[in-house]
Structure 1
Amino acid sequence: MSQLYSRTDLVAQRAQWRADGKRVVFTNGCYDILHPGHIRLLEAARSLGDILILALNTDASVQRIKGPSRPILSQDERAALAATLDAVDAVTFFDEDTPRELIAAVLPDFLVKGADWSHFIAGREEVEAAGGQVVAVPLEPGFSTTNLVQQILDRKQ
Protein backbone atom coordinates (compact mmCIF):
# COMPACT_ATOMS: atom_id res chain seq x y z
CA MET A 1 0.00 0.00 0.00
CA SER A 2 1.41 3.37 -0.98
CA GLN A 3 1.72 6.46 1.15
CA LEU A 4 0.03 9.85 0.74
CA TYR A 5 2.65 12.62 0.74
CA SER A 6 2.44 16.37 1.08
CA ARG A 7 4.48 18.20 -1.55
CA THR A 8 7.18 19.04 1.00
CA ASP A 9 7.43 15.47 2.26
CA LEU A 10 7.47 14.08 -1.27
CA VAL A 11 10.37 16.32 -2.30
CA ALA A 12 12.30 15.21 0.79
CA GLN A 13 11.49 11.54 0.09
CA ARG A 14 12.58 11.98 -3.54
CA ALA A 15 15.99 13.12 -2.29
CA GLN A 16 16.23 9.94 -0.23
CA TRP A 17 15.19 7.76 -3.17
CA ARG A 18 17.84 9.48 -5.29
CA ALA A 19 20.47 8.82 -2.61
CA ASP A 20 19.38 5.18 -2.53
CA GLY A 21 19.80 4.90 -6.32
CA LYS A 22 16.07 4.39 -6.95
CA ARG A 23 14.66 5.26 -10.37
CA VAL A 24 11.56 7.38 -9.84
CA VAL A 25 8.65 7.50 -12.27
CA PHE A 26 6.00 10.22 -12.13
CA THR A 27 2.55 10.35 -13.67
CA ASN A 28 -0.50 12.42 -12.96
CA GLY A 29 -4.15 12.93 -13.69
CA CYS A 30 -7.64 13.23 -12.29
CA TYR A 31 -8.24 9.47 -11.96
CA ASP A 32 -11.84 10.33 -11.25
CA ILE A 33 -13.32 6.89 -11.83
CA LEU A 34 -10.59 4.27 -11.71
CA HIS A 35 -10.87 1.97 -14.74
CA PRO A 36 -8.76 -0.68 -16.54
CA GLY A 37 -7.12 1.96 -18.75
CA HIS A 38 -5.79 3.71 -15.65
CA ILE A 39 -4.53 0.45 -14.15
CA ARG A 40 -2.68 -0.54 -17.32
CA LEU A 41 -1.10 2.91 -17.67
CA LEU A 42 0.04 2.82 -14.03
CA GLU A 43 1.48 -0.68 -14.45
CA ALA A 44 3.34 0.37 -17.62
CA ALA A 45 4.67 3.45 -15.83
CA ARG A 46 5.79 1.44 -12.80
CA SER A 47 7.66 -1.01 -15.02
CA LEU A 48 10.05 1.81 -15.98
CA GLY A 49 11.48 2.30 -12.51
CA ASP A 50 11.60 1.43 -8.84
CA ILE A 51 9.12 3.97 -7.46
CA LEU A 52 5.91 5.30 -9.03
CA ILE A 53 4.51 8.62 -7.89
CA LEU A 54 0.90 9.33 -8.83
CA ALA A 55 -0.03 13.01 -8.54
CA LEU A 56 -3.77 13.59 -8.45
CA ASN A 57 -5.54 16.81 -9.35
CA THR A 58 -7.32 18.26 -6.32
CA ASP A 59 -11.09 18.54 -6.49
CA ALA A 60 -10.82 22.26 -7.31
CA SER A 61 -8.36 21.54 -10.12
CA VAL A 62 -10.63 18.84 -11.59
CA GLN A 63 -13.60 21.22 -11.53
CA ARG A 64 -11.65 23.93 -13.36
CA ILE A 65 -10.55 21.46 -16.02
CA LYS A 66 -13.58 19.15 -16.36
CA GLY A 67 -16.46 21.34 -15.22
CA PRO A 68 -18.70 21.71 -12.16
CA SER A 69 -20.10 18.16 -12.27
CA ARG A 70 -16.66 16.64 -11.69
CA PRO A 71 -15.00 15.02 -9.92
CA ILE A 72 -17.30 12.10 -9.28
CA LEU A 73 -15.13 10.88 -6.39
CA SER A 74 -13.47 13.29 -3.97
CA GLN A 75 -9.70 13.70 -3.92
CA ASP A 76 -9.50 11.77 -0.64
CA GLU A 77 -11.51 8.88 -2.12
CA ARG A 78 -9.38 8.90 -5.29
CA ALA A 79 -6.19 8.92 -3.22
CA ALA A 80 -7.41 6.06 -1.03
CA LEU A 81 -8.20 3.96 -4.11
CA ALA A 82 -4.87 4.77 -5.78
CA ALA A 83 -2.97 3.93 -2.59
CA THR A 84 -4.27 0.34 -2.73
CA LEU A 85 -2.76 -0.32 -6.15
CA ASP A 86 0.41 -2.43 -6.26
CA ALA A 87 1.89 -0.30 -9.03
CA VAL A 88 1.66 2.95 -7.03
CA ASP A 89 4.24 3.73 -4.36
CA ALA A 90 3.39 7.35 -3.54
CA VAL A 91 0.32 9.53 -3.97
CA THR A 92 0.22 13.30 -3.76
CA PHE A 93 -2.04 16.15 -4.84
CA PHE A 94 -1.55 19.24 -6.96
CA ASP A 95 -3.99 22.13 -7.12
CA GLU A 96 -2.63 23.85 -10.22
CA ASP A 97 -4.07 23.16 -13.67
CA THR A 98 -0.84 21.32 -14.57
CA PRO A 99 1.70 19.59 -12.34
CA ARG A 100 4.66 21.50 -13.84
CA GLU A 101 5.75 23.04 -10.52
CA LEU A 102 5.49 19.72 -8.69
CA ILE A 103 7.41 17.92 -11.43
CA ALA A 104 10.13 20.60 -11.34
CA ALA A 105 10.45 20.08 -7.58
CA VAL A 106 10.54 16.26 -7.78
CA LEU A 107 12.51 15.87 -11.05
CA PRO A 108 11.65 12.23 -11.70
CA ASP A 109 13.81 9.98 -13.83
CA PHE A 110 10.77 9.20 -15.99
CA LEU A 111 7.72 11.33 -16.65
CA VAL A 112 4.82 9.28 -18.04
CA LYS A 113 1.53 10.36 -19.58
CA GLY A 114 -1.06 8.68 -21.74
CA ALA A 115 -0.49 9.10 -25.47
CA ASP A 116 -3.55 11.35 -25.67
CA TRP A 117 -1.38 14.00 -23.99
CA SER A 118 1.71 13.51 -26.18
CA HIS A 119 1.11 16.95 -27.76
CA PHE A 120 1.58 18.60 -24.36
CA ILE A 121 3.22 16.95 -21.40
CA ALA A 122 3.60 19.45 -18.57
CA GLY A 123 7.05 19.21 -17.04
CA ARG A 124 8.69 17.78 -20.16
CA GLU A 125 11.28 20.56 -20.39
CA GLU A 126 12.25 20.32 -16.73
CA VAL A 127 12.60 16.53 -16.75
CA GLU A 128 14.58 16.41 -19.99
CA ALA A 129 16.85 19.27 -18.87
CA ALA A 130 17.68 17.22 -15.76
CA GLY A 131 18.52 14.15 -17.88
CA GLY A 132 15.23 12.34 -17.38
CA GLN A 133 13.02 10.73 -20.01
CA VAL A 134 9.46 11.51 -21.04
CA VAL A 135 7.31 8.57 -22.13
CA ALA A 136 3.86 8.66 -23.75
CA VAL A 137 2.13 5.32 -23.08
CA PRO A 138 -0.46 4.08 -25.59
CA LEU A 139 -3.98 4.17 -24.20
CA GLU A 140 -6.10 1.12 -23.58
CA PRO A 141 -8.80 1.30 -26.27
CA GLY A 142 -12.34 1.75 -25.06
CA PHE A 143 -11.61 3.30 -21.67
CA SER A 144 -12.21 6.94 -20.83
CA THR A 145 -13.69 8.38 -17.67
CA THR A 146 -15.68 10.91 -19.67
CA ASN A 147 -17.09 8.12 -21.87
CA LEU A 148 -17.88 5.95 -18.83
CA VAL A 149 -19.78 8.81 -17.19
CA GLN A 150 -21.74 9.33 -20.43
CA GLN A 151 -22.52 5.60 -20.67
CA ILE A 152 -23.88 5.64 -17.11
CA LEU A 153 -26.02 8.69 -17.85
CA ASP A 154 -27.30 7.13 -21.08
CA ARG A 155 -28.36 3.98 -19.22
CA LYS A 156 -30.38 6.02 -16.74
CA GLN A 157 -32.51 7.53 -19.51
Structure 2
Amino acid sequence: MQPENPKLLTLEDAVEARAALRRTGRRLVLTNGVFDLLHPGHLYSLAAARALGDALFVAINSDASVRALKGPTRPILSETERAYALGALECVSGIVVFNTERLTAEIRALAPDVYAKAGDYTLETLNPEERAALEACGADIQFLPFWEGFSTTALIQKIRESGGAL
Protein backbone atom coordinates (compact mmCIF):
# COMPACT_ATOMS: atom_id res chain seq x y z
CA MET A 1 0.00 0.00 0.00
CA GLN A 2 1.31 3.44 -0.95
CA PRO A 3 0.68 6.06 1.79
CA GLU A 4 -1.06 9.25 0.74
CA ASN A 5 1.06 12.38 0.32
CA PRO A 6 -1.13 15.49 0.27
CA LYS A 7 1.94 17.70 -0.29
CA LEU A 8 2.77 16.01 -3.62
CA LEU A 9 1.32 18.30 -6.29
CA THR A 10 1.06 18.28 -10.03
CA LEU A 11 2.59 21.38 -11.59
CA GLU A 12 -0.93 22.62 -12.34
CA ASP A 13 -1.96 22.23 -8.68
CA ALA A 14 1.25 23.94 -7.57
CA VAL A 15 0.53 26.87 -9.89
CA GLU A 16 -2.95 27.19 -8.35
CA ALA A 17 -1.47 27.08 -4.83
CA ARG A 18 1.09 29.67 -5.91
CA ALA A 19 -1.69 31.96 -7.16
CA ALA A 20 -3.48 31.64 -3.80
CA LEU A 21 -0.28 32.62 -1.99
CA ARG A 22 0.15 35.64 -4.25
CA ARG A 23 -3.47 36.76 -3.71
CA THR A 24 -2.91 36.79 0.04
CA GLY A 25 0.47 38.55 -0.16
CA ARG A 26 2.46 35.52 0.95
CA ARG A 27 5.93 34.77 -0.41
CA LEU A 28 6.82 31.51 -2.13
CA VAL A 29 10.28 30.01 -1.78
CA LEU A 30 11.33 27.40 -4.34
CA THR A 31 14.22 24.98 -4.08
CA ASN A 32 15.05 21.85 -6.00
CA GLY A 33 17.21 18.78 -6.02
CA VAL A 34 17.30 15.01 -5.98
CA PHE A 35 16.95 14.55 -2.18
CA ASP A 36 17.76 10.86 -2.61
CA LEU A 37 18.72 9.97 0.96
CA LEU A 38 17.71 12.75 3.34
CA HIS A 39 20.62 13.72 5.57
CA PRO A 40 21.31 16.57 8.04
CA GLY A 41 22.62 18.83 5.25
CA HIS A 42 19.31 18.53 3.41
CA LEU A 43 17.28 19.15 6.56
CA TYR A 44 19.36 22.20 7.43
CA SER A 45 18.99 23.65 3.92
CA LEU A 46 15.26 23.01 3.76
CA ALA A 47 14.61 24.67 7.13
CA ALA A 48 16.77 27.64 6.12
CA ALA A 49 14.94 27.93 2.79
CA ARG A 50 11.53 27.88 4.47
CA ALA A 51 12.61 30.73 6.76
CA LEU A 52 12.98 32.96 3.67
CA GLY A 53 9.24 33.05 2.94
CA ASP A 54 5.77 31.91 3.84
CA ALA A 55 5.71 28.63 1.93
CA LEU A 56 8.38 26.29 0.57
CA PHE A 57 7.87 24.28 -2.59
CA VAL A 58 10.47 21.62 -3.32
CA ALA A 59 10.89 20.46 -6.91
CA ILE A 60 12.47 17.02 -7.09
CA ASN A 61 13.99 15.30 -10.08
CA SER A 62 12.00 12.36 -11.41
CA ASP A 63 13.66 8.96 -11.36
CA ALA A 64 14.52 9.24 -15.08
CA SER A 65 15.97 12.71 -14.55
CA VAL A 66 18.12 11.46 -11.66
CA ARG A 67 19.47 8.61 -13.79
CA ALA A 68 20.35 11.09 -16.54
CA LEU A 69 22.21 13.29 -14.04
CA LYS A 70 23.72 10.74 -11.64
CA GLY A 71 23.97 7.49 -13.58
CA PRO A 72 22.17 4.13 -13.68
CA THR A 73 22.53 3.26 -9.98
CA ARG A 74 20.60 6.30 -8.81
CA PRO A 75 18.22 7.16 -7.36
CA ILE A 76 18.34 4.90 -4.33
CA LEU A 77 14.76 5.84 -3.41
CA SER A 78 12.00 6.32 -5.98
CA GLU A 79 10.50 9.74 -6.66
CA THR A 80 7.38 8.69 -4.73
CA GLU A 81 9.47 7.62 -1.72
CA ARG A 82 11.58 10.80 -1.84
CA ALA A 83 8.44 12.94 -2.11
CA TYR A 84 6.91 11.13 0.85
CA ALA A 85 9.98 11.75 3.02
CA LEU A 86 9.99 15.44 2.08
CA GLY A 87 6.24 15.67 2.65
CA ALA A 88 6.70 14.52 6.23
CA LEU A 89 8.73 17.66 6.97
CA GLU A 90 6.85 20.55 8.51
CA CYS A 91 8.96 23.11 6.64
CA VAL A 92 7.88 21.76 3.24
CA SER A 93 4.58 23.12 1.90
CA GLY A 94 4.47 21.34 -1.45
CA ILE A 95 6.46 19.02 -3.69
CA VAL A 96 6.53 18.89 -7.49
CA VAL A 97 8.29 16.16 -9.49
CA PHE A 98 9.93 17.37 -12.69
CA ASN A 99 11.02 15.12 -15.55
CA THR A 100 13.76 17.14 -17.18
CA GLU A 101 17.35 17.76 -16.12
CA ARG A 102 16.56 21.45 -15.64
CA LEU A 103 13.86 23.30 -13.71
CA THR A 104 13.30 26.11 -16.22
CA ALA A 105 9.65 25.38 -17.08
CA GLU A 106 8.69 25.00 -13.42
CA ILE A 107 10.41 28.28 -12.52
CA ARG A 108 8.49 30.07 -15.27
CA ALA A 109 5.19 28.49 -14.20
CA LEU A 110 5.59 29.11 -10.45
CA ALA A 111 7.42 32.46 -10.57
CA PRO A 112 8.74 32.14 -7.01
CA ASP A 113 9.50 35.18 -4.90
CA VAL A 114 12.66 33.50 -3.62
CA TYR A 115 14.80 30.73 -5.08
CA ALA A 116 17.03 29.02 -2.53
CA LYS A 117 19.97 26.76 -3.27
CA ALA A 118 22.61 25.23 -1.02
CA GLY A 119 25.77 27.26 -0.57
CA ASP A 120 27.83 24.91 -2.70
CA TYR A 121 26.24 26.74 -5.65
CA THR A 122 26.93 30.29 -6.85
CA LEU A 123 25.33 32.57 -9.43
CA GLU A 124 28.03 31.43 -11.84
CA THR A 125 27.33 27.73 -11.31
CA LEU A 126 23.55 27.94 -11.63
CA ASN A 127 22.33 26.60 -14.94
CA PRO A 128 22.12 29.63 -17.29
CA GLU A 129 18.56 28.82 -18.45
CA GLU A 130 17.34 28.42 -14.87
CA ARG A 131 19.09 31.63 -13.85
CA ALA A 132 17.54 33.53 -16.77
CA ALA A 133 14.08 32.23 -15.83
CA LEU A 134 14.61 33.28 -12.20
CA GLU A 135 15.78 36.74 -13.22
CA ALA A 136 12.85 37.11 -15.66
CA CYS A 137 10.31 36.47 -12.90
CA GLY A 138 12.15 38.70 -10.43
CA ALA A 139 13.02 35.96 -7.97
CA ASP A 140 15.44 36.80 -5.18
CA ILE A 141 18.18 34.17 -5.56
CA GLN A 142 19.55 33.10 -2.19
CA PHE A 143 22.44 30.77 -1.42
CA LEU A 144 22.04 29.06 1.92
CA PRO A 145 24.83 28.29 4.36
CA PHE A 146 26.33 24.94 3.42
CA TRP A 147 26.77 22.32 6.10
CA GLU A 148 30.06 20.68 5.11
CA GLY A 149 30.53 16.95 5.22
CA PHE A 150 27.11 15.83 4.03
CA SER A 151 26.23 14.59 0.58
CA THR A 152 24.21 11.65 -0.65
CA THR A 153 27.13 10.52 -2.80
CA ALA A 154 29.45 10.50 0.22
CA LEU A 155 26.83 8.69 2.30
CA ILE A 156 26.43 5.99 -0.36
CA GLN A 157 30.22 5.61 -0.55
CA LYS A 158 30.46 5.27 3.22
CA ILE A 159 27.85 2.51 3.19
CA ARG A 160 29.65 0.70 0.35
CA GLU A 161 33.03 0.94 2.10
CA SER A 162 31.58 -0.45 5.29
CA GLY A 163 30.29 -3.50 3.43
CA GLY A 164 26.91 -2.63 4.87
CA ALA A 165 28.20 -3.10 8.43
CA LEU A 166 27.60 0.36 9.85
Normalising by the residue count of structure 1, what TM-score does the alignment of the two structures yield?
A: 0.95
- Distance in 2 between the 1:145 and 1:54 partners? 17
Q: Does 1:120 align with 2:125?
A: yes
- Distance in 2 between the 1:132 and 1:30 partners? 21
Corresponding residue number in structure 2 for 1:132 = 139
Q: Does 1:20 align with 2:24?
A: yes
- Distance in 1 between the 2:154 and 2:23 partners? 42
- Distance in 2 between the 1:98 and 1:117 partners? 15
Question: C-alpha displacement at 1:11, in angstroms?
Answer: 1.0
Task: Identify which range, 1-10 or 28-37, moves more after superposition.
Answer: 1-10
- Distance in 2 between the 1:72 and 1:130 partners? 34
Q: How many percent identity over aligned positions?
A: 41
- Distance in 1 between the 2:79 and 2:114 partners? 24
Task: Identify which range, 112-121 or 64-73, moves more after superposition.
Answer: 112-121
Amino acid at match of 1:95: N
For residues 95-136 of structure 1, the C-alpha deviation after alignment (integer angstroms, 9 at most, x for no partner) is 100111101110100001112222332422222232220011
Amino acid at match of 1:129: A
Amino acid at match of 2:126: I
Task: Identify which range, 78-87 or 121-130, moves more after superposition.
Answer: 121-130
Q: Find the residue that maps to 2:143 and give its secondary structure.
A: strand
Q: Find the residue that maps to 1:116 and give its secondary structure.
A: coil
Task: Identify which range, 132-141 or 63-72, moves more after superposition.
Answer: 132-141
Corresponding residue number in structure 2 for 1:36 = 40
Q: Find the residue that maps to 1:156 and give its secondary structure.
A: coil
**Gaps spanning 5+ residues in structure 1: where?**
none
Match of residue 95, structure 1, among 80, 94, 99: 99
- Distance in 1 between the 2:31 and 2:125 partners? 14
Question: C-alpha displacement at 1:2, in angstroms?
Answer: 6.0
Corresponding residue number in structure 1 for 2:160 = 153
* Paired residues of 1:111 and 1:124 also in contact (CA < 8 A): no
Match of residue 76, structure 1, among 55, 80, 100: 80
* Paired residues of 1:63 and 1:71 also in contact (CA < 8 A): yes
CA RMSD of aligned residues (A): 1.4
